A = this chain, B = another copy of it.
């Protein structure tokens, strides 16, 4: 870890120790002993900051709670891990988390009717309205991950044995949500370019009806899938689904928060997004948005009445199980939201950087892109069997030589040891970082005499 990064963490931790002293004191102020501890900690802090400023000093702390190493991969490295890129917190989210980390921190001003999305201090109610608008749907709720959005919809719409149409590239959480609701997934086959088309979806629906005698309860398709991040024709698929009167769930785990998403233009009945994957938020977090029509079903309020007490919890929503993200998860979403909204407007630039890197990789002879190309996304599946893997075959570290070379250049996030097919994500890297990344790959190729096309 660089000294500056180490010292930045140490200074943050020293301040948390100070906070601990403040928390243990009376509202009237510190007593003599606390004052002494406070002074000592300030003195420590000043000496840490001197080290930070002068870029010197050995580590004072390496573990949190004696067991957890400090995680500094975002500060010390360029991280190309496929699922982490767009979930990195913004600086404002990190500040919000410092302030709102405590358990039920959202609940200070919870008043009747006692539901998370009705709280106005902080402006959680306003955030929910903004979220719905952001994806152009009527209503939105925050959920503990996109998977919990799939679950809420499947649990509402899918009965035992019901078929549900998903993509042959569907994420495993879609499988599980359908299984948990008692349904059965039916996959739409891919075309030659590994894409799901409207026609193939129509054919699959016909086939399912013909073979099972049941109309699918739901069509659930990823706009960009998790394997190739290829774009699938969600607009055409929504249209097809509606021709059969089947509701359409738009899986935006790889889109909501990184590119503009217009749920109504797509024809989505449900839009699901992921906070920790694409909205710069703490896990588990996500969004489920829907139309007013479907809200009355998926966001139905409880009808259960206590048989002895006659208790009713009228405004609580069954599928949400009441409140969902009662603290730091939600506040990180809210604090990142202005930046997230803004960044979706610059998606084109992110795609340009993605293609810039991929072109550099392709210049290393034998490298291939398994995703559609040119790229329309920052997540890409590549095949370096014909380039970097040729070295791995005889290297004593096998595929790990490649990880070693990347790490030496301050790059992490590749699947350690993998040199054949693997995924990476350039999202959020600056041009300077992307250029550095591209050069690093070419440098490694050159070092091992892999030919580069210029």
Contacts and interface: CB of A to CB of B under 8 A. Distances in A.
Interface of A: 2, 4-5, 8-9, 11-13, 15-20, 22-24, 26-29, 31, 42, 45-46, 49, 52-53, 64-78, 81, 83-84, 86-89, 91-108, 122-123, 144-145, 147-148, 150-151, 155, 168, 170, 172-173, 175-180, 184-189, 275-277, 280-284, 302-304, 306-309, 311, 313, 316, 318-319, 321-322, 324-329, 331-332, 334-339, 409-412, 430, 432-433, 436
A83 B107 contact: yes
B179 A304 contact: yes
Given A9-B99, A306-B185, A122 B68 contact: yes
Given A98-B94, A168-B308, A281 B68 contact: no
Contacts of A304: 175-176, 178-179, 184-185
Contacts of A5: 22
A147 to B, nearest CB: 4
B316 A172 contact: yes
B180 A318 contact: yes
A106 to B, nearest CB: 8
A86 to B, nearest CB: 8
A46 B46 CA distance: 8
Contacts of A98: 9, 12-13, 16, 94, 97-98
Given A101-B282, A176-B313, A96 B65 contact: yes
Contacts of A144: 144-145, 148, 284
B283 A325 contact: yes
A329 B29 CA distance: 31
Contacts of A96: 64-65, 68
Nearest to A436: B26
Contacts of A327: 87, 276, 282-284
A324 B283 CA distance: 9
A179 B312 CA distance: 12
Nearest to A11: B15
Nearest to A184: B304
A322 B173 contact: yes
Contact of A306 (B74, B103, B187): B187
A172 to B, nearest CB: 4
B17 A91 contact: yes
A9 B18 CA distance: 10
A64 B322 contact: no
15 contacts: A12-B15, A17-B91, A26-B433, A27-B77, A65-B93, A65-B335, A81-B108, A83-B103, A83-B104, A88-B102, A102-B282, A103-B277, A151-B321, A179-B318, A187-B309
Contacts of A170: 306
Contacts of A76: 27
Contacts of A103: 83-84, 86-89, 275-277, 280-283
Contact of A101 (B93, B102, B321, B412): B93
Nearest to A121: B69
Contact of A95 (B16, B94, B99, B177): B16
Contacts of A2: 22, 29
Contacts of A97: 97-98, 101, 328
Given A19-B91, A88-B103, A172-B313, 7 more contacts: A2-B29, A15-B15, A16-B98, A69-B122, A103-B282, A144-B148, A147-B322
Q: Which 5 A-B pairs have the closest CB atoms?
A: A87-B103, A27-B410, A283-B327, A103-B276, A144-B144
A188 B46 CA distance: 60
